[in-house]
Chains A and B, each alone.
Chain A
Amino acid sequence: MSAAVTAPSVPKKKDRGGPWLSLLAWVVGILFVLPVLWMVLTSFHSEQDAATNPPSVFAPLTLDGYREFFSGGASPWPPLLNSLTASVLSTALVLLLCFPAAYALSIKPVRKWTDVLFFFLSTKMLPIVAGLLPLYLFAQQAGLLDNIWLLIVFYTSMNLPIAVWMMRSFLSEVPVEMLEAASVDGAGLSRTLRSVIAPVVMPGIAATALICFIFSWNELLFARVLTATVAETAPVFLTSFVTSQGLFLAQLCAAAFVVSLPVLVAGFAAQDKLVQGLSLGSVK
């Protein structure tokens, strides 16, 4: 699915409201993107220009906000690196676990495979706060508080159900004839996986990876409770950034933009993958 591929061009008989509806679409689109643009614009203003009323839209641009963010107080690099580590490693772990599981739920399904699938989804419905306390106490006992690996394991469990659902949905698209042909040719499991299944589901793997990366990068509650100074992630850094420094709007906007940048880039680059992922693979 992609925006470019649209309906076969059936000649429309009449489209009276056409131009107005197009204009409305543009207005709505601009309204929705406006806060983001405002954040970016403010981040390039000086603190004085950022805090005026009415807003100084055409104030001179400066990099002071970014300079202050990167070298003013506590360095944002360790939290950014922690976020990157936690997101990338947990995503890799999710892919490693979800692919064989999805295989056993679609191509060679175990008995009662629907029950298993719904078990995975039901864990997403459990309020995460319900598991927070025991995990915290366990981490405290095991000396794992403020350890990035604890977050990696938790993020893996947070994203695994979504990934299993998505992967299963993609794997069930693999044509059975191709699998039979491969087995007639005497291809083993690993070869079948590599040369028959993987090419068909590569887009699915990309969509799964994108979603898992975004959700791990965004997570706040667990990171806030389970980390302190060493393993602090970027979203936690953002919240402490405001309370510790008072309010500097331009600097805050610069910080918010920098932290959002990886997600913005990844999401814009793979818009159609985003839809597939968010709908657990049911929209293709």
Chain B
Amino acid sequence: MTSVAEQTTSPAEAKQQPSRSARGIAWARRAPLMPALVFMIIVTQLPFVATLVISFMNWNAYYPEEIGFAGFDNFKRVFTDINMRDAVLTTIWLTAGVVIISLLLGLGIALLLDRKFRGRGAVRTMMIAPFLVVPVAAALLWKHALYNPEYGLFNGAITGVWRLFGSDHPPQPDWISNMPLWAVIFALVWQWTPFMMLILLAGLQGRPLDVIEAARIDGANSWQIFRSMTLPHLRQYLELGALLGSIYIVQNFDAVFTITSGGLGTANLPYTIYQIFYQAHDYGRASAAAVIVVLGTIIIATFALRTVSSLFKQEANR
């Protein structure tokens, strides 16, 4: 690609402005990029600088006369706050749980859909549906129409099956109270499995089929082909799915907010910071928490970006 970057101007441009300096050319190249870049810096980077400043301030909207410099007090409070530590753990569990389960389910379903069978298109369309329900609507649906202990579909189905066998006392668990974090995880797995499935299915369909056929003729069985040919080929798609899934699920607010309102040990970092800011109105502490989360994210993202950039180099070398 560097050869393209160092190319001189095309004949048409040279004719228009023969005396343009090298710097002028560089700026002409940069010009189309500038609006997007400047826009992103203003809307995403400036607020973060403001967050950094506020994190060192004593600022609670309920006590406007006490606004002032606070030094590291906010950070001390965040680090000693048990809720924050719990929120970090909850975020890790939630993200890892959803990403791993939906990736494995997605892989299995992608393998099922990679075969030819009657109604394959229909099954693929059915599989995509969960991803196309608005996240808040999906969370409300799971909370009220499925998990509800009195008239939710899960307990309703249990009652139906028990009646079928003549029992009048079916178990009617209160799903959300009994396993709050898993309730959130399952609802999110339902929404994200289609996403993983779509990426992995696209990866499967990009396999070099002639090589696989050759291996089959040489007597390799399905498991051997899967282990030593399909899985290595899918690796970059698995990584892509895991990375993108993590980016979105780490930030999840809708499901936690709707299904449990952050109660019962399900408050993740976005929800906790939202609470400190929106309900406690403690701007200084919310900002300190945000700064710490950003620092943590940068550390994790550095590793994640390395993954993407290796994908990227493969593409560039193509």
Task: Using A1-B202, A118-B309, A268-B128 as known contacts, say yes or no to A98 and B315 having CB atoms under 8 A apart.
Answer: no
Q: Does A91 contact B (CB under 8 A)?
A: no
Contact bitstring A17-57, B, C-beta under 8 A = 1, else 0: 01001101110111011011011001000000011111100
| Alpha-carbon distance between A142 and B157 when the two chains are bound, in angstroms | 53
Task: Using A33-B129, A256-B141 as known contacts, say yes or no to A157 and B39 having CB atoms under 8 A apart.
Answer: yes
Instruction: State whether B36 touches A100 (Cβ < 8 A).
Output: yes
| Alpha-carbon distance between A24 and B127 when the two chains are bound, in angstroms | 13
Select B151's contact among A50, A108, A278, beta carbons within 8 Å.
A50
Q: Does A131 contact B (CB under 8 A)?
A: yes
Instruction: State whether A126 touches B44 (Cβ < 8 A).
Output: yes
Selected interface stretch from B92-100, B176-184, B270-278: B270-278
| Alpha-carbon distance between A221 and B118 when the two chains are bound, in angstroms | 42
Instruction: State whether B123 touches A25 (Cβ < 8 A).
Output: yes
In B156-186, the 8 Å CB interface with A consists of 156-157, 159-160, 163
* A164 neighbours in B (Cβ, 8 Å): 36
In A260-279, the 8 Å CB interface with B consists of 260, 263-264, 267-268, 271, 274-275, 278-279
Residue among B138, B203, B247 with most chain A CB within 10 A: B138
Instruction: State whether A220 touches B130 (Cβ < 8 A).
Output: no
Q: Name the residue on B nearest A26 (C-beta).
A: B123
* A221 neighbours in B (Cβ, 8 Å): 253-254, 257, 270, 274
Q: Does A174 contact B (CB under 8 A)?
A: no
Q: Does A60 contact B (CB under 8 A)?
A: no
Q: Does A74 contact B (CB under 8 A)?
A: no
| Alpha-carbon distance between A278 and B89 when the two chains are bound, in angstroms | 27
Instruction: State whether B247 touches A242 (Cβ < 8 A).
Output: no
Contact bitstring A134-153, B, C-beta under 8 A = 1, else 0: 11111000000000000001
Instruction: State whether B144 touches A127 (Cβ < 8 A).
Output: no
Q: Name the residue on B nearest A262 (C-beta).
A: B134
Task: Using A55-B153, A127-B294 as known contacts, say yes or no to A253 and B145 having CB atoms under 8 A apart.
Answer: yes
Interface size class of B (residues with CB under 8 A): 35 or more
Task: Using A22-B115, A105-B33, A278-B198 as known contacts, say yes or no to A52 and B250 having CB atoms under 8 A apart.
Answer: no
Nearest CB on B from A30, distance (A) = 7
Instruction: State whether A125 touches B286 (Cβ < 8 A).
Output: no
Residues of A contacting B: mostly: helix
Task: Using A10-B213, A33-B126 as known contacts, say yes or no to A134 and B51 having CB atoms under 8 A apart.
Answer: yes
Q: Does B262 contact A (CB under 8 A)?
A: no
Instruction: State whether B36 touches A252 (Cβ < 8 A).
Output: no
Q: Does A70 contact B (CB under 8 A)?
A: no
Contact bitstring B117-154, A, C-beta under 8 A = 1, else 0: 11111111111111111111110111011100011010
Instruction: State whether A184 touches B11 (Cβ < 8 A).
Output: yes
Q: What are 10 A-B contacts with C-beta separation under 8 Å?
A: A21-B112, A38-B146, A54-B159, A55-B156, A97-B36, A104-B30, A110-B33, A127-B273, A259-B134, A263-B134
Which of A's residues lie within 8 Å of B, judged by CB? 1, 3-4, 6-8, 10, 13, 15, 18, 21-22, 24-26, 28-30, 32-33, 35-36, 38-39, 42, 50-55, 97-98, 100-101, 103-105, 108-111, 113-114, 116, 118-138, 153-154, 156-157, 160-161, 164, 176, 180, 183-184, 186-188, 214, 217-218, 220-221, 225, 234-235, 238-239, 242, 247, 249, 252-253, 255-257, 259-260, 263-264, 267-268, 271, 274-275, 278-280, 282-284
